């Protein structure tokens, strides 16, 4: 486990991952139900209203950039693809399928730009989408914070109970906010829990890294999909035994380990992409439900592109 697993090739994409992911993948790949009588195709604008109902823009962090990036609201959105990143491969997948709208977690353009010239990869993405007749929308920290959001899905996948936000949303409901903390139904060891985390997330080159005693007993678990090293103080306040997040860097981790008197919270560092990919399938189902309630039928799929940027890893190995 500590030597990592080979990155999934572009042809295989997310195939060949864990059984849980296979199940999700198969669900995601199944064609949507045929349009029911009287159902109509939503426009991009209708899809945006449904997105607002599920993941309100007001829940996004002030620094974030969410909402419609490319596209005309009045155009049809018969085929909708969910993905983590608006990468070249994801856009190719969307255009090959004939998607009308791609909903991504990460913004294509977080910072203001002066040009969308196709000579830069971001401008090229904009051009390819427009030329292919495909809109692009972002659901980022609003998707993190909402009920049923990225960290909620992780908490659910890990089997946590009595879940609450690590950092409550300033203006939202008590259940809304960044990160989640809850309890396993039964105490287990850090090593066994790390094994569960590893088995649930998609297989990526970097694997899963753990800081702490493999045999230590853990029950209270904090999670934050994506980069979560800004939440260490909240994790300590939550009295979590272990914290699962991504993108953990040397200094925040080193200081957190030094500050942990009894070793807690132990840390599990997972793939940023993997921690957020899990959300796509329930997000797609939620959007399909909201659209159906409004009498709309769209074909909705989850991307099978693995956009984790790492390709292989060398470690001394401990197994």
CB burial of residue 37 (10 Å; 0-12, 13-18, 19+): exposed
| Cβ closest to Zn ion, residue 176 vs residue 276 | 276
> Closest separation between CB of residue 142 and Zn ion, Å?
13
> Helices 121-131 and 88-97 sit at what angle, rounded to 10 degrees?
10
Asked whether 80 and 300 are in contact (CB, 8 A), the reply is yes
Residue 274 binds to Zn ion (criterion: CB under 5 A): no
> Closest separation between CB of residue 60 and Zn ion, Å?
13
| Cβ closest to Zn ion, residue 206 vs residue 226 | 226
Residues 204, 186, 237, 150, CA torsion sign: positive
CA distance 288 to 296: 9
| Cβ closest to Zn ion, residue 77 vs residue 200 | 200
CA distance 72 to 91: 17
| Cβ closest to Zn ion, residue 4 vs residue 226 | 226
Cα–Cα separations (whole angstroms), residue 173 to 58, 165, 178, 208, 238: 12, 10, 12, 32, 19
> Closest separation between CB of residue 149 and Zn ion, Å?
12
Buried b (16+ CB within 10 A) or exposed e, 231-248: bbebbbebebbbbbbbeb
Instruction: Order the strands of the 79-83 sheet from edge to edge.
Output: 67-70, 135-138, 101-104, 79-83, 299-302
Asked whether 75 and 52 are in contact (CB, 8 A), the reply is no
> Closest separation between CB of residue 41 and Zn ion, Å?
30
Sequence-ordered strand ranges (E) for 90-208: 101-104, 135-138, 160-168, 177-189
| Cβ closest to Zn ion, residue 226 vs residue 265 | 226
Longest CA–CA span in the chain (Å) reads 63
> Closest separation between CB of residue 278 and Zn ion, Å?
12
Partners of 178 in beta bridges:
167
Site for Zn ion in 37-66 (CB under 5 A): none
Site for Zn ion in 226-265 (CB under 5 A): 226
> Closest separation between CB of residue 227 and Zn ion, Å?
7
Site for Zn ion in 198-227 (CB under 5 A): 226
| Cβ closest to Zn ion, residue 177 vs residue 226 | 226
> Residue of minimal CB distance from Zn ion?
226
| Cβ closest to Zn ion, residue 165 vs residue 226 | 226
> Closest separation between CB of residue 104 and Zn ion, Å?
10
User: Count residues contacting Zn ion (CB under 5 A)?
Assistant: 1
| Cβ closest to Zn ion, residue 169 vs residue 245 | 245
> Closest separation between CB of residue 159 and Zn ion, Å?
23
Contacts to Zn ion by CB under 5 A: 226
């Amino acid at each position: 486990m500590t030597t990592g697993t080979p990155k999934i090739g572009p042809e295989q994409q997310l195939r060949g991952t864990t059984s849980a992911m296979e199940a999700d993948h198969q669900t995601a790949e199944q064609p949507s139900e045929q349009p029911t009588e009287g159902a109509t195709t939503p426009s991009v604008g209708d899809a945006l209203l449904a997105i607002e109902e599920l993941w309100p823009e007001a829940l996004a962090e002030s620094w974030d950039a969410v909402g419609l990036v490319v596209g005309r609201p009045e155009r049809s959105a018969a085929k909708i693809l969910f993905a983590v990143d608006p990468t070249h491969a994801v856009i190719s997948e969307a255009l090959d399928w004939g998607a009308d709208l791609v909903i991504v977690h990460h913004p294509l353009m977080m910072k203001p730009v002066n040009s969308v010239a196709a000579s830069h990869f971001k401008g090229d993405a904009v051009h390819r989408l427009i030329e292919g007749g495909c809109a692009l929308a972002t659901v980022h920290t609003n998707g993190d914070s909402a009920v049923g959001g990225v960290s909620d899905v992780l908490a659910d996948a890990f089997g946590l109970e009595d879940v609450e936000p690590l950092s409550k949303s300033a203006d939202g409901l008590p259940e809304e906010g960044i990160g989640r903390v809850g309890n396993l139904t039964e105490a287990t060891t850090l090593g066994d829990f790390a094994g569960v985390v590893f088995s649930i997330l998609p297989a990526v080159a970097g694997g899963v890294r753990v800081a702490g005693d493999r045999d230590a007993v853990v029950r209270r678990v904090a999670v934050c999909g994506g980069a979560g090293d800004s939440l260490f103080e909240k994790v300590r306040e939550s009295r979590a035994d272990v914290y699962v997040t991504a993108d953990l860097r040397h200094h925040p981790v080193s200081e957190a380990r030094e500050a942990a008197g009894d070793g807690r919270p132990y840390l599990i560092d997972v793939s940023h992409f993997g921690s957020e990919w899990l959300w796509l399938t329930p997000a797609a189902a939620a959007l399909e439900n909201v659209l159906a309630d409004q009498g709309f039928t769209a074909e909705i799929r989850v991307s099978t592109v693995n956009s984790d940027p790492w390709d292989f890893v060398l470690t001394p190995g401990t197994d």
